[in-house]
């Protein structure tokens, strides 16, 4: 089976290098028209370059069709303008890969609030702005595939990356509501947590691991998650040719008797409350309330 993107228009943010570049190139190889969005700044978001134009040239050398865009994901008007130009040129927007990102790592005690705000604005607000700019088009055409880029830092934590981790768990949270709102319009939304050797991680990986975690080894997961037969609401990890899924789970509620609904009662029951036996994956936030109500009703009957 060959998965094709013929007839699809894809926007990849942060596509001037690293993972975004590899996504853009493979989408183009498989027939998509690709918008290469990138400011061309350094990994802390400073400066600019013509990196997007260079990727467009690579795509055109392969016989593909692409356009460069230098709009900032942190400026909503620029994302709206990008979407309008794409729609005018190619008639639609079928795929959005939210990949743009920067790093400003420091321990929380040493982190300047501006560095916290800036990283959150690029990763979280930027993903929201880019998604909002294409959302109505995807609804109108009853087709959309959106990929959010999270991180193991967001899902599990990492020292010195409070800003990055907060933003990256935030995009996973956006996925969990957008997939519900997009379902009847055939818009599928997924989250990818990649592990790749890029300029954002070049001083984190040892040299041997840097080669093993080349960006192209993440591409199969990313492209599947924006393909026609993609799942929705998945959280997928990818790196070095290994792939896994992650889930947000809850366990069955422990209903405390009336006289134990105190601080001391909660403390005494903590081992039962935190026991993961029987945990499951809710499909929406409302399910939590429903499970609690059912547990309360069962306790009253029992």
Q: Which residues are catalytic?
A: 164
Candidates 190, 80, 184; CA nearest to 146 is: 190
Residues in the chain: 302
Q: Quick one: which H or E segment has residue 192? A: strand 187-194
Please, are residues 12 and 35 in contact by the beta-carbon 8 Å criterion? yes
Q: Residue 111 has which token pair?
A: 């982190």
Q: Residue 274 has which token pair?
A: 């935190």
Q: What distance in Å separates the CA atoms of residue 292 and residue 237, rounded to the nearest whole number?
A: 31
Sign of CA dihedral 255, 256, 257, 258: negative
Q: Residue 39 has which token pair?
A: 């400011």
Please, are residues 94 and 10 in contact by the beta-carbon 8 Å criterion? yes
Please, are residues 52 and 70 in contact by the beta-carbon 8 Å criterion? yes
Q: What distance in Å separates the CA atoms of residue 167 and residue 124, rounded to the nearest whole number?
A: 5
Q: Count other C-beta atoms under 10 Å from residue 46's C-beta.
A: 10
Please, are residues 155 and 172 in contact by the beta-carbon 8 Å criterion? yes
């Amino acid at each position: 089976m060959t998965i094709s993107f013929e007839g699809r228009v894809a926007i990849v943010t942060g596509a001037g290098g690293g993972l975004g570049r590899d996504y853009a190139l493979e989408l183009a190889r498989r027939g998509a028209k690709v918008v290469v969005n990138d400011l061309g700044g350094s990994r802390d978001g400073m400066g600019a370059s013509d990196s997007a134009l260079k990727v467009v040239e690579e795509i055109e050398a392969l016989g593909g069709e692409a356009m460069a865009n230098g709009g900032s994901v942190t400026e909503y008007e620029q994302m709206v303008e990008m979407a309008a130009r794409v729609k005018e040129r190619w008639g639609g927007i079928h795929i959005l890969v939210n990949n743009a990102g920067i790093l400003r790592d420091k321990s929380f005690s040493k982190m300047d609030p501006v560095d916290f705000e800036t990283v959150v604005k690029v990763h979280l607000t930027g993903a929201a702005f880019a998604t909002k700019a294409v959302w109505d088009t995807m609804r109108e055409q009853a087709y959309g595939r959106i990929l959010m880029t999270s991180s193991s830092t967001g899902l599990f934590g990492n020292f010195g990356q409070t800003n990055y981790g907060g933003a990256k768990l935030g995009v996973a949270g956006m996925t969990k509501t957008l997939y519900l709102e997009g379902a009847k319009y055939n818009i599928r939304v997924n989250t990818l947590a990649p592990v790749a050797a890029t300029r954002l991680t070049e001083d984190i990986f040892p040299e041997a691991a840097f080669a093993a975690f080349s960006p192209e080894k993440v591409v199969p997961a990313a492209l599947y998650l924006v393909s026609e037969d993609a799942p929705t609401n998945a959280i997928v990890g990818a790196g070095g040719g290994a792939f896994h899924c992650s889930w947000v789970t809850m366990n069955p509620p422990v209903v405390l008797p009336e006289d134990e609904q105190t601080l001391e009662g909660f403390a005494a029951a903590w081992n039962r409350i935190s026991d993961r036996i029987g945990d499951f994956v809710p499909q929406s936030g409302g399910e939590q309330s429903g499970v609690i109500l059912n547990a309360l009703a069962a306790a009253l009957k029992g």
